[in-house]
Structure 1
Amino acid sequence: MAAMHAVMRHCAQAVVEQVQHNAFGRPGPRVITGKYRASWHADVQDEGPVVVAEVGTSAPQARRPEFGFVGADSLGRHYAQPPFPHLGPAVDQAGPVLVRELIDAVKRSL
C-alpha cells in the first residue's frame, strides 16, 4: 500500500507541475501575478484498499482558461475568451505514466 501511495503522490504532483506549466504563456494568457498557477495542489488519501489522488484549485477563474468564456460576466463585461486547456492535457499526459508506475509497484510488492 505504501508503494501505491508513493506512486500516486508522485504522479499527482507531476500533474500539478504540468498544469502549472500549461496554464499560462503563449499561446495562452500571460502570467500577471502567478497566484492562479500557485493555487494548484495535489492531495493523496488512502480510502480503505484504494489510493485516491485529487488535483485541483479553489481559484474561481479556473474554468475560464480551461474551457473559455463567451458572454457577459456578473459585472456586465463582455468577453470572447478562447479556451486554453491546461488541466485536461496534463491528465491525458499523466495517465499512461501512472498506469505504468502502478503496474511496476504491484510487481515489486508481489
Structure 2
Amino acid sequence: MANPHPNAHGRAGVYSNADQVAAAFDTRAARTLPETMAVVQHYAMLLETRVKANASGRPGPNAPTGDYRRSWTHEVFTAGVAVTAVVGTNKPQGRRLEYGFVGADSLGRVFNQQPYPHVGPAVEEIAPQFVAALGGVVGE
C-alpha cells in the first residue's frame, strides 16, 4: 500500500524539514507543562471543594463544627515534567469516616461505625472531567 503522505522525494519517513518539525515539538512542549499545571491545580481545587461539600452532612459525615471540613486542602507539585496534586486532610478521623470502622480502637473502645463516603464519590464525579481536560492539553 502506498503511503498517502510521502515527502517531497516520494518516500515515506524521510523529511527535509526536520528542523521545523523539531522546533514545532519544542514549542508545544514548552506550552504543555504550564497548561498541565493549570489543569491539575484547577481540578485539585474542584476535588477539594466537592469533598468538603460531601462532608457536610448525610449521606456523608456530619460536620457539626466544620473543623473536619476546613481541614481539607490541596497542593500541587512539579518534578521535572511530572505534575502531582495531593488533596487530603490531616485529621485522623478521615479514613474512619470514609470507610467506617468495626472493632476496638487504640484506647480499647469498641465501635461499629458505618462508612460515610465523601472522598470516593467526589473522585468519581471529578475524574472524568479531569481526564477530559488533560486530554485537551495533550490533544491540542
Select the structure of larger CA radius of gyration. 2
Match of 1:60 among 88, 92, 97: 92
Question: For this pair of structures, how many residues does the alignment match?
Answer: 108
Task: Name stretches of at least 5 consecutive residues in structure 1 with no aligned partner.
Answer: none
Equivalent residue letter for 1:95: A
SS in 1 for 2:111: strand
Give the % identical residues.
48
Give yes or no for the alignment of 1:7 onto 2:32.
no
Contact conserved, 2:55 with 2:62, CA < 8 A, in 1? no
Change (3 A) 1:27 1:95: closer
Give yes or no for the alignment of 1:36 onto 2:68.
yes
Give yes or no for the alignment of 1:48 onto 2:80.
yes
Change (3 A) 1:52 1:26: same
The worse-fitting range, judged by mean Cα deviation, of 72-81 and 86-95 is 72-81
Residue 8 of structure 1 and its aligned partner are, at CA, apart by 0.2
Residue 106 of structure 1 and its aligned partner are, at CA, apart by 2.7
Residue 80 of structure 1 and its aligned partner are, at CA, apart by 1.0
Q: Summarize deviations over 1:68-92 as a string: whole Å, max 9, x none.
A: 0112222332211101111111112
Match of 2:131 among 85, 99, 103: 99
- TM-score (norm: length of structure 2): 0.71
Q: Which residue of 1 aligns with 2:113?
A: 81
Q: Which residue of 2 aligns with 1:23?
A: 55
Change (3 A) 1:46 1:29: closer
Runs of 4+ in 1 over 6 A off after TM superposition: none
